[in-house]
Structure 1
Amino acid sequence: MALVDVKTEITGNIWKIVAAPGSRLEEDEQILIMESMKMEIPVSAPESGVVVEILVAEGDTVTEGTVVARIEA
């Protein structure tokens, strides 16, 4: 098992956290939704695994490349 960092691809705000620590996710399943320029952008699991931790809160502002979650794959 390896820890996988989930990073943002854009700058924006964390609008909604969809998955909680302990959740089992399949590859491409949503972890959270960001808002940028009035658009909703999903952040998805890069591979199947269990969410170990969520490193942001709803309302946080993040930049491109910010680690927002960790998955044990």
Structure 2
Amino acid sequence: MADIEVKSDIAGAVWKLLVQPGTEVEEDDTVVILESMKMEIPISAPESGTVKSVAIAEGDAVVEGQLVLVLTV
């Protein structure tokens, strides 16, 4: 098993966190929705796996490249 870090592509605010540790996800499932410039930007799982940890919470501000969560694949 390997861990994959999922990072934010843009700066924005965490609008919705759709997973928690232990959640199983499929490749391309939306795991977080960011709000930036009044647009909703989804962050998707790069691979199928299980969410190991979440590094953000709803309402948090994130910057481009910031760790969002870790997947175990």
- TM-score over 0.5 (shorter chain): yes
Query: How high is the sequence identity, in percent, across the aligned residues?
Result: 51
Q: CA–CA distance in 2 between the matches of 1:67 and 1:9?
A: 10
TM-score by length of 1: 0.97
**After TM superposition, what 4+ stretches of structure 1 lie above 6 angstroms from structure 2?**
none
Partner SS for 2:70: strand
The 5-angstrom pairing of residues 56-67 of structure 1 reads 56-67=56-67
Q: CA RMSD in A?
A: 0.5
Indicate the residue corresponding to 2:15 in structure 1: 15
Structure 1 unmatched ranges of 5 or more: none
TM-score by length of 2: 0.97
Structure 2 unmatched ranges of 5 or more: none
Q: CA–CA distance in 1 between the matches of 2:27 and 2:45?
A: 5
The 5-angstrom pairing of residues 1-73 of structure 1 reads 1-73=1-73
